[in-house]
Amino acid sequence: MKKMRLRQNCILALATAVFLLSGNISVAKSGTLSGKVLNNKKYKEIYLKDLDEKTLETAKINASGTFTFKKKFNQTDFYIITLGEEINYLFIPTPGEKAQFTVDTKNMKEAVFSNSRESERFYTYQRKLLAMRQNPNTAKELVKSMIDEDPHSPAGLFFVKFLDKKKELKYYQKLAEGLKKYNYISTVQSFITTVEGYAQLQVGKVAPEIALKSPEGKVIKLSSLRGKYVLIDFWASWCGPCRMENPHNLELYKEYHDKGFEIYAVSLDKNKAAWQKAIKEDGLSWIHVSDLKSWNSAAGRIYGVSSIPYTVLLDKEGKIVAFNLRGSKLKRTLKKIFDE
């Protein structure tokens, strides 16, 4: 009887613990956002938008200038608050915060957030960096200290760009690692993917994978070209310098293709018809792929493409040989590989 009573007590204690734990989990409150527009004689509404500036909610501004958004913020994300068309304000909510936003129409650049840790952090550092415009090295040191202080802060995502990715890669990597818990945010996910890919972009390392569709809709993987020397060529139909390079590339392609040379052209076009027309007009018979997202191309982000034309030469094992070879430099390199 004592053993049975002891067992029942243990079960009851366990059940109580589970109940209490589950209760603790469920008490995480949603965040809210309200505020006030001072000296307001013009605006009747204030807007909550996503980073693509799609309106998510419109709140009425009452006679006293106050407003409240109905949306409940259950997780951290990035939003834009817009008053009229004059200026956008970044808002980074955290669950449980009762965020307040105050703006004076007489000085709309000096909006103030309170009870919103990440929003406050963003604007604090923004003001400091604006004051350092004449001292870029000091500004860079401030960004480094910000990331060192809290690599888990989403606000850091908007300031790390002050640092040269090639020279300060460790800070990009530190922030990317710290933000992994926010990888449900597309902007964060894109940043992490870009940093991880960029870390591979070194001579002698295997190039990051690309898997995009051809004009015919077939997915072609970069890794499927192992066994050949491959020139990844980032270009677009609207890029004049790219189109000027095509005749030179075509000449080299004809000379070395049968010896094991391939071109994997990644277009930063948005318009499929324009892309296909350029391929036909320039007589380009090599591999063509694109996601038709222009500068938002996943491959372009991973490879750190900031201008085109841009090329990466790979060896037979998919390892990086050189970056941005074009014209006579590319010709000399291929001649050395295939003719000597």
Full pLDDT tens readout for the chain, 340 residues: 444 343 444 333 333 333 333 444 444 589 999 999 999 999 999 999 999 889 999 999 999 999 999 999 999 999 999 998 768 999 999 999 999 999 999 999 889 999 999 999 999 999 999 999 899 999 999 999 999 999 999 999 999 999 988 889 999 999 999 999 999 998 999 889 888 888 888 899 999 999 999 999 999 999 999 999 999 999 999 999 999 999 999 999 999 999 999 999 999 999 999 999 999 999 999 999 999 999 989 899 889 888 999 999 999 999 999 999 999 999 999 999 998 7
Q: What is the dihedral of CA 288, 293, 299, 305, to 10 degrees?
A: 100
221 and 276 housed in the same domain: yes
* Number of structural domains the chain divides into: 3
Domain presence at residue 121: no
Looking at the structure, tell me whether residues 148 and 110 fall in a common domain. Answer: no
Cα–Cα distances (Å) from 136 to 5, 71, 92, in that order, read: 72, 39, 26
User: In 10 A of CB 93, how many CB atoms?
Assistant: 24
Q: Determine the Cα–Cα distance for residues 198 and 207; give it in Å rounded to an integer.
A: 9
Q: Is residue 123 assigned to a domain?
A: no
Q: Is residue 73 part of a domain?
A: yes
250 in a structural domain = yes
Same domain (yes/no): 273, 330: yes
Question: Which residues are CB-neighbours of 210 under 8 A, at least 6 positions away?
Answer: 221, 222, 232, 264, 266, 289, 299, 302
- Whether residues 222 and 192 share a domain: the answer is no
Domain at 104, CATH number = 2.60.40.10
**Whether 148 and 79 share a structural domain:** no
Distances (CA, A) of 297 to 225, 245, 268, 269, 304: 21, 21, 7, 9, 11
- The conformational region for residue 18 under phi > 0 = left, psi -120 to 50 = alpha, else beta, is alpha
Contact 165, 150 (CB under 8 A): no
Do 88 and 111 fall into the same domain?
A: yes
Residues 140, 255 within the same domain: no
Is there a single domain that holds both residue 251 and residue 148? no
pTM score of the predicted model: 0.70
Domain co-membership, 162 together with 74: no
User: 63: which residues sit within 8 A by CB, 6+ positions away?
Assistant: none
> Is 122 a member of any domain?
no
Q: Which residue, 115, 148, 178, sits at the end of a domain?
A: 115
The answer to whether position 15 is within a domain reads no
The domain of 163 spans 132-199
